[in-house]
Amino acid sequence: GPKVLQIPSHQIIDMGQMVTLNCDPVSNHLYFYWYKQILGQQMEFLVNFYNGKVMEKSKLFKDQFSVERPDGSYFTLKIQPTALEDSAVYFCASSLVDSGNTLYFGEGSRLIVV
Amino acid sequence: GDSVTQTEGPVTLSEGTSLTVNCSYETKQYPTLFWYVQYPGEGPQLLFKVPKANEKGSNRGFEATYNKEATSFHLQKASVQESDSAVYYCALSVYNQGKLIFGQGTKLSIKP
């Protein structure tokens, strides 16, 4: 089936540093999403993105977070600066239309902030 | 706000027994309902979805009926296999809202 690729698969970073998580969504998809999953807990919506803009973001999407997709390249989640509570697995997803359509998820980027 | 509540896990069953994972949802709008499955080290993947009230979805022996009156979407399987061990998420999306809302997930372990 359609594949969403995420880079890196895991990263360890010092608190206060910047991290960028990269997502290569399904090629003809138009909507992009980031979800956060702390170990053993549920998937929590962070943000969605369409037509070059953030459509909606949750309370978890702090001011230190930003997303972009410059010129149709990777869809990125940047955290600057990182905090200990940012340690989690971040999942990227994409869908052809809005979320009434199926979301396809990547395998996640495990972020450990020390 | 919109929300999804499902059976607390973990759930452990023996191979060949039946499974029910309860899912209830709350929304004032018209949802599409989903069941996703997540295997260790992977992202969630769609098991099936049902966009219309009182219809049933199914895949790989799993099924669920979108019960609008009861606001439920319980997952069932008649005979589970060891390969069904995973975390199962009930989820909903609402028309014109760009997000999928997940339940807390139910971890299922099947003993051979």
- State residue A98's pLDDT score: 66
Distance (Å, rounded) from C-alpha B86 to C-alpha B80?
Answer: 12
Q: Is the pLDDT at B51 greater than 90, yes or no? A: no
- B99 at interface of A, judged by CB pairs closer than 8 A: yes
pLDDT exceeds cutoff 70 at B78: yes
Question: Which residues in B9-21 are b (16+ Cβ under 10 Å) and which e?
Answer: bebebeeeeebeb
What is the reported pLDDT for B45? Answer: 95
What's the pLDDT score for residue A82? 98
- The verdict on a CB contact (< 8 Å) between A99 and B98 is yes
* pLDDT recorded at residue A39: 86
Which residues fall within 8 angstroms of residue A53, CB to CB, at 6 or more apart? none
Give me the residue from A4, A55, A100 closest to B93, CB to CB.
A100
* pLDDT tier at B96, thresholds 50, 70, 90: low
Q: What is the pLDDT of residues A13-41, one digit of tens each?
A: 999 999 999 999 999 899 999 999 998 88
Considering only CB atoms, which chain B residues are within 8 Å of A100?
32, 51, 93, 95
* Residues of chain A scoring pLDDT < 50: none
Task: Please report, rounded to a whole number, the percentage of residues in chain A having pLDDT higher than 70.
Answer: 97
pLDDT tens column, B28-44: 988 899 999 999 989 99
pLDDT score, position B1: 84
Interface of B with A in 66-95 (CB under 8 A): 89, 93, 95
pLDDT at B9: 85
**CB-count burial class (<10 Å; 0-12, 13-18, 19+) for A3:** exposed
- B28: which residues sit within 8 A by CB, 6+ positions away? none
Proportion of chain B above pLDDT 70, given as a percent: 99
